[in-house]
């Protein structure tokens, strides 16, 4: 049976990496990098009142994922393919985690930016990175 459409629009699966180490799984409908909060919903068909507001000041990154379970047997490769569009960057977080990918809109003075993982088989389709959680961003040659 098909899932009925949500009155909020298309649901997008996310895993939110919080600064306190928690990982929150849920759905977003209208995430905007221009706002300092977003609403996280427990289900794809949740009502507006079922959501919880999340402050970006409490977030390290938001992983827009294909599946909540991920692909445990897959280990992302970190080689950028020649011809990848956008600026090629390696981002290192304060906790040592690194992400390699491309971006169209990195601005260190902004709240954050989106990066598209180098590995097309990654479970992440894109990641919103909060700039204050980053220790280094360096350009990478493909």
Residue 3 within any structural domain of the chain: no
37-84 pLDDT per residue, tens = 999 999 998 887 889 999 999 999 999 999 988 766 766 666 666 666
Q: Is residue 116 part of a domain?
A: yes
- Specify if 61 maps to a domain: yes
Q: Where are the beta strands (DSSP E) in the chain?
A: 12-18, 23-28, 37-40, 52-55, 59-65, 87-93, 98-103, 112-117, 124-130, 134-139
pLDDT above 90: percentage of residues in the chain: 61
Residue 3, pLDDT > 80, answer no
Q: Calculate what percentage of the chain has a pLDDT beyond 70.
A: 83
Residue 100 resides in a domain: yes
Task: Look up the domain containing 31 and give its range.
Answer: 12-65
pLDDT for 90 equals 93
Q: Mark whether 54 and 18 lie in a shared domain.
A: yes
Instruction: Specify the CATH number for the domain of residue 61.
Output: 2.30.30.100
pLDDT band per the 50, 70, 90 thresholds, residue 140: confident
């Amino acid at each position: 049976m098909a899932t009925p459409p949500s009155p909020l629009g298309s649901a997008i699966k996310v895993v939110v990496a919080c600064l306190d180490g928690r990982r929150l799984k849920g759905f977003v409908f209208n995430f905007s990098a221009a706002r300092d909060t977003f609403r996280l919903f427990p289900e794809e068909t949740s009502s507006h009142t079922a959501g919880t507001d999340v402050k970006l000041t409490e977030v390290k990154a938001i992983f827009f994922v294909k599946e909540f379970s991920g692909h445990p047997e897959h280990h992302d490769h970190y080689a950028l393919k020649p011809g990848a569009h956008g600026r090629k960057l390696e981002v290192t977080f304060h906790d040592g985690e690194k992400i390699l990918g491309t971006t169209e809109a990195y601005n260190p003075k902004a709240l954050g930016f989106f990066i598209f993982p180098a590995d097309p088989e990654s479970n992440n389709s894109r990641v919103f990175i909060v700039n204050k959680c980053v220790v280094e961003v360096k350009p990478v040659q493909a």
